Amino acid sequence: MRKIVAIVLAALAFSAAAVPASAAPTGVGSHCGTYLCVMTAHHNRFVQDITVRTRDGLPGTLRSYWGDFHSPKVNAASHRWAVGREQAGAKLVCGGLERDGRNIEDTCVTI
């Protein structure tokens, strides 16, 4: 029994130590426009990911951008990009939606 408890406690300690506190998200930002929602998890200026989804659930060409980060375009109703980087002067995390070759909407979140 003691051996099992020791193994469980060691596993919990290892999993807690695996993610440094500096990388843990301190903020989750989101903003929805008319057709598009943009969500991001970040720690100060370290953006971990950007998720863009359409509000109506219909697919379109989605993209995200933040400072000098410009994601590849994806044809979907929702997509998540793992960013995992820091940019000192970048304050807006944005997403865009295109349908039928036209820009429908760009929406941004302030971090």
Sign of CA dihedral 56, 57, 59, 62: positive
Domain 25-110 of CATH type 2.40.160? no
Cβ-proximal residues to 93 (8 Å cutoff; 6+ apart), any chain: 29, 38, 40, 42, 47, 50, 64, 66, 108, 109, 111
Chain segment 79-90, per-residue pLDDT in tens: 999 999 999 999
pLDDT tier, 44 (very low <50, low <70, confident <90, very high otherwise): confident
Tokens of 89: 């002067």
DSSP state, 6? H
CA distances from 59 to 31, 46, 53, 54, 74 (A): 19, 29, 9, 7, 9
Chain segment 48-94, per-residue pLDDT in tens: 999 999 999 999 999 999 999 999 999 999 999 999 999 999 999 99
